[in-house]
């Protein structure tokens, strides 16, 4: 059987929003993926860990958000683990589970710019294919330099920022591929959504309606008992 092309979109999803669905749709089309797994983090090492709704609530919102698209599926690999979730461990587990398939780790430029502070970045970056997507305010050109294990063509990054090209890809020493994709911008962020909800303001254009209803019904951003006082661990 032909290997499936499976995207892995990790995130805090606090909450899942239309920006996530937008990038998933773009990469599904751009890289002809068959399926995208949305992977909410258990204990997110890189965020302000206090005040994050429980994995159960974030997973429930994710299920609602992807319910209309058969190629999008929530994946509980990180939330069912106890202890911190390191991306490298998640990828290794999924490589075993999907050993017949081609995996693509999907990540926005804001997160990718920090990747050298994650656990074992060199090994992580050559473990599977990567799809790195543009995000407003985070130019490709600002990417810190990597060591000799990754030779990124900086001129190609500048061309992506100037939109004189829409994608740039190269092969890593371990024969995985790294795809940089410039996609139509969406300004949506979870940080802004949380602030709007707390201020009682409109979020209609930023969230699926079903997710908004869940947030209201469960008072997700209004009651402290929905939060788990996670304490740090780092990625």
In the complex, which residues of this chain contact ligand ATP (CB under 6 A)? Answer: 11-14, 19-20, 23, 107-108, 110-111, 133, 135, 186, 188-191
Least distance to ligand ATP from the beta carbon of 191, Å? 3
CA-to-CA distance for 218 and 4, rounded, in angstroms? 37
Q: With the CA atoms of 192, 130, 143 and 158 taken in that order, what torsion angle do they form, in degrees rounded to the nearest 10?
A: -100
**SS3 for 203?**
coil
Cβ atoms < 10 Å from Cβ of 169 = 15
CB nearer ligand ATP, residue 191 or residue 222? 191
CB nearer ligand ATP, residue 1 or residue 199? 199
Least distance to ligand ATP from the beta carbon of 2, Å? 28
Q: What's the token pair of residue 68?
A: 């209309």
Least distance to ligand ATP from the beta carbon of 100, Å? 26
Contacts of 193 (CB under 8 A, 6+ apart): 15, 17, 203, 206, 207
CB nearer ligand ATP, residue 41 or residue 102? 41
CA-to-CA distance for 161 and 141, rounded, in angstroms? 7
Least distance to ligand ATP from the beta carbon of 47, Å? 7
Q: Which residue is nearest to ligand ATP, using beta carbons? A: 108
Least distance to ligand ATP from the beta carbon of 107, Å? 4
CA-to-CA distance for 5 and 42, rounded, in angstroms? 25
Greatest alpha-carbon span in the chain: 52
């Amino acid at each position: 059987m032909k290997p499936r092309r499976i995207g892995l979109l990790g995130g805090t999803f606090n909450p899942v929003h239309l920006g996530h669905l937008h990038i998933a749709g773009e990469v599904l089309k751009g890289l002809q993926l068959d399926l995208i797994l949305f992977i909410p983090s258990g204990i997110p090492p890189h965020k302000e860990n206090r005040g994050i709704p429980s994995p159960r609530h974030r997973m429930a919102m994710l299920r609602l958000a992807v319910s209309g698209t058969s190629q999008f599926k929530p994946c509980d690999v990180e939330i069912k683990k106890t202890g911190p979730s390191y991306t490298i461990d998640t990828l290794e587990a999924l490589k075993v589970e999907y050993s017949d398939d081609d995996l693509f780790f999907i990540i926005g430029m804001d997160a990718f710019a920090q990747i050298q502070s994650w656990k074992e970045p060199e090994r992580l970056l050559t473990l599977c294919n990567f799809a790195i997507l543009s995000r407003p305010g985070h130019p490709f050109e600002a990417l810190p330099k990597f060591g000799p294990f990754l030779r990124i063509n900086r001129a190609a990054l500048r061309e992506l920022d100037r939109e004189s090209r829409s994608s740039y890809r190269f092969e890593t020493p371990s024969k995985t591929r790294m795809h940089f994709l410039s996609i139509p911008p969406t300004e949506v962020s979870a940080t802004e959504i949380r602030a709007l909800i707390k201020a009682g303001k409109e979020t209609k254009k930023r969230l699926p309606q079903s997710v908004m209803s869940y947030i209201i019904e469960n008072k997700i951003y209004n009651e402290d008992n929905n939060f788990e006082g996670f304490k740090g661990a780092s990625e």
